[in-house]
Each structure stands twice: as C-alpha cells, then as structure tokens.
Amino acid sequence: MKINLPELDKKRVVVIGGGFAGIALVKKLAGKNYQVVLIDRNNYHQFQPLFYQVAMAGLEPSSIVFPLRKLFRKKENTFIRMTEVERIDPEKRQLHTTLGVVNYDYLVLATGAETNFFGNAQIADKAIPMKSVSEALYLRNHILADYEKSLSIEDYEERQSYLDIVVVGGGPTGVEVAGSLAEMKKYILPKDYPELNIEEVDIFLIQGNKDLLHGMSEKASEKALEFLTNLGVKILLEKRVTAYDGKRVTLNDGTTIPAKKVIWAAGITGKSPEGLSTECKGPGGRILVDRYSKVQGHDNIYAIGDIALMKEEAYPDGHPQLAQAAMQQGKNLAENFIRLDKGKALVPFTYRDLGSMATIGRNRAVVDLPNIKFQGTFAWFVWLFVHLFSLLGVKNKVFVFLNWLWGYSTYDQSLRLIIRPKLNKVDIPSEENAPVL
C-alpha cells in the first residue's frame, strides 16, 4: 500500500524528521521546483533547548511546540505525513512506513538523536531522559508527585529517597536542569511545601569528566561550577553511574545515593532506519556523510543534523551536535537541491561556529562566542534573547516572554500541575512519544 500523495511532474524529496535540521531544509526548499514530503511521528516541531523549563514547571508545553501544518500551510508542493518509519529500500527508492510506502527521488534523514544509556539496560529502564515534551512532562509529574508523597513519610531514609534528585551529565542540559532544580528548592518549595524541611532536599550533579560543560571554554566551566555550588548543588566530578535500580544510584567508586529520580543527560546517540549499508555507520550511531551531506555508499540518500557525521579540517571528529550546526546543514542541502535543479555546481558545507551558551538559573549564564567569552547577568540576558527569538511562532514568543517575566518578578511559577493520562500504572513514556524516529 502506498501513502496517498499527488503525483507531480517534479522530483520528490522526502525528509524524515521535523527537528531543527529538517525544518530548516523544508522551509528553504518549499515552493521550489520539488515536491517536498516531510515525515515525522509527531505533528509538531519541538524546541528542545527549553524542555528542561517544561520539566521544572516554568513553561507550558504548548509554548515550545509549533504545528508542522501551520508552519507550511502556505507552501506549495509541500506535504506533511505523520507516521512511523520502518525501513528504507535504497534499490527501489522507497521508504516503508506504518501508513504505507513512499517513493522518493531524494531521501533526507534528519532523525536527530536519542538518549545514550551506553548499553546499560537497567539505567535505561529506570532513569528519566528528556528528549521530548512528553518526557519533560513525565519528569515534572514525577517530581511534584514525589514531593506530595514525602509529606506523609515519617521515616527519614525513605523520605530522603523521594526528596533527593540526581542529575547525570554535566553538559548544557545537565547544568541547566541542576540550576533550575536548585532555584526551585530555594524559591518555590518553601512556599508550596512549608511542612517540608527544605534542607533535606539534595540535588546531585554527576559528571564523568573533570570539568562541567566539557567542550566550552575553561572560564565557562569554572563559572558554571561556581554558580551551581553557590546554589547548593552537590557536584561530583570524574564519577560515573554504574547502576540504578529505581531506588539507589551506584557510582564507579562504590558510593551509593538513595534517589527515586535520576535525570539522565549524559549523552546522545544517533538512530537511523533499517536498510542503510553498514559502510555508512559511524561512531555514536551517526551516519557518515560527505561535505554535501550525501550518505556514504548511497547515491540519493542524505543525512543532516545530529544523525550526520560530516568531517572537515576544523572538525575531524564531526560537527558539534547543536541546533546551529543542524540548521546550517539543512539550509546548505536545500540550496544544493536548488542548484542541482538549475544545473549549477554544488557548494560543500562549511560550519560557521556561532558560539555556545548555557544558563544556570536567574542572572547566571555562560556564553562562548567565537571572539568573546563572558559570564553572569549580561550572559543570562543574551541567552534569553537568543532562545526567545529562536522559537517558532509569535504567540510562542509572547507566551514564553510573559512566563519568564512573571517568574523573574515574582520568584514563582504557576504551572505546577500534575497532569497525566489515565493509565493502569505510571511509566516512562515509550519511544512512540519521542521527537522523531
């Protein structure tokens, strides 16, 4: 069975994934001399850098998502299909999905990445990732529900396991989550849970490297450590989590931490559909591509964004898995499709490093730009500005700004609601709720 799509007298470009890379490509290619088909398991784009604010009850989920159909409703020859991808048949140029088969002239993989548990099935089953809105909501529900339960627990050790939170991974996501949790402990919990002894709430940040924000500047790492320490976060450097049974975290030195909540932000790995040749598989689950984003060993298949491993002289191990790299690759590939249609020479991709940044709570952030690095309040405002204007949709920008303004003015948030579907048991969202593929 084939997916019902108009048969046009144009080459068909099928794009899998509505993340930063896929959206950048489709926006630039829409309306050109191609039929563009965007496939995603969700009908919306998710702004991943702000997942943690949804989890910490700082933003509504609807503020950081944008409907795909609304984004492309005025674009000619652009079609959206919400379905699961099963496999690729490169010889027949067909993509098999749960809705049916899609023929393609060019296939673009923009499937992003998923949480990397480094092969530890126990941790994968018990820890809480944060790679989708549904997972962020689950985390919010879990945190608030555990604090409600803790009010009725008299035993200190048992109560401690409900109160304490362990964050694994000292990259931007882990640092931002830990900072947000520390501010929740300082400003929110005393108001909402006056019966609790807030001093019993401990937030641990576990990092396998000797510094935080590995990959950013030394000054950014030092400042992040200082900011988090001042907020009361217990930071454990050069430590690795070896086991977690849902009640107790075990580290590589034998130390254990009682905690019913482990937030996993320790790394990502690529995930691609079945059907690709083994020669194109690179480290970290990424797909090997050339400077034109073409998948190694395949003529009409391309990969962009986090899933792609493209090497250039300045980046021998591939580009950083950041939104900017994904968007730049998407735009470059779209421009090359346009050039291909016009018979012009293709342009190889060159990454333009626009910098990186992370926020560690109110008035605390670190920013590394190519020619300048700064930290503190000004860096925090720069972080706010960049993320606010990167959101899709005017309404989303306004709602996020108002939420931030309210939170900054009142030291409070108004979204601490435990909202969950009616299920027989509470469980971590399944893969079907992940952002793409």
Instruction: Count, in order, helices (H) and strands (E) of the chain.
Output: 12, 24
What are the pLDDT tens digits along the chain (437 aa)?
A: 778 888 888 999 999 999 999 999 999 999 899 999 999 999 999 999 999 998 888 888 889 999 999 999 888 899 999 999 999 999 999 999 999 999 999 999 999 998 889 889 999 999 999 888 888 988 988 999 999 999 999 898 899 999 999 999 999 999 999 999 999 898 888 888 898 888 999 999 999 999 999 889 999 999 999 999 999 999 999 999 999 999 999 999 999 999 999 999 998 898 889 999 989 999 989 999 999 999 999 999 999 999 999 999 989 999 999 899 999 999 999 999 999 999 999 999 999 999 999 999 889 999 999 889 999 999 999 999 999 999 988 998 998 998 888 888 887 776 677 776 665 444 444 444 443 43
- CB-based contacts of 235: which residues, under 8 Å, 6+ apart? 170, 204, 205, 207, 212, 225, 228, 229
Backbone angles phi, psi at 113, to 5 degrees: -140, 160
What is d(CA 431, CA 234) in angstroms, rounded to the nearest whole number? Answer: 31
What is d(CA 130, CA 53) in angstroms, rounded to the nearest whole number? Answer: 11
Amino acid (1-letter code) at residue 213? L
Burial (CB < 10 A; 0-12, 13-18, 19+), residue 2, is: exposed
pTM (predicted TM-score): 0.88
Amino acid (1-letter code) at residue 139? L
pLDDT of residue 2: 79
Backbone angles phi, psi at 243, to 5 degrees: -160, 150
Strands 106-109 and 11-16: parallel
What is d(CA 177, CA 243) in angstroms, rounded to the nearest whole number? Answer: 21
277: nearest Cα among 257, 294, 254, 263 = 294
pLDDT of residue 414: 64
Q: Which two tokens stand for residue 347?
A: 């342009």
pLDDT of residue 430: 44
Strands 262-264 and 85-89: unpaired
pLDDT of residue 408: 81
Q: Which domains does the chain have, with CATH numbers?
A: 11-41+83-115+268-342 (3.50.50.60), 121-266+415-431 (3.50.50.100)
What is d(CA 158, CA 41) in angstroms, rounded to the nearest whole number? Answer: 39
Residue showing tokens 């008035």: 363
43: nearest Cα among 21, 72, 5 = 72
What is d(CA 165, CA 17) in angstroms, rounded to the nearest whole number? Answer: 32
336: nearest Cα among 313, 304, 288 = 304
- Kind plus residue range of the DSSP H or E element containing 217: none
Q: Which two tokens stand for residue 377?
A: 């309040």
What is d(CA 35, CA 153) in angstroms, rounded to the nearest whole number? Answer: 60
Strand order in the sheet with 85-89: 85-89, 94-97, 101-103
Dump pLDDT digits (tens) for 162-201.
999 999 999 999 999 999 999 989 888 888 889 888 899 9
Q: Helix, strand, or coil here: 280?
A: helix
Measured over all CA atoms, what is the biggest interatomic distance in the chain, rounded to whole angstroms? 75
Dump pLDDT digits (tens) for 246-284.
999 999 999 999 999 999 999 889 888 999 998 999 998
- Identify the bridge partners of residue 103 per DSSP, sorted by sequence position: 94
Tell me if 271 sits within 8 A of 284, measured CB to CB: no
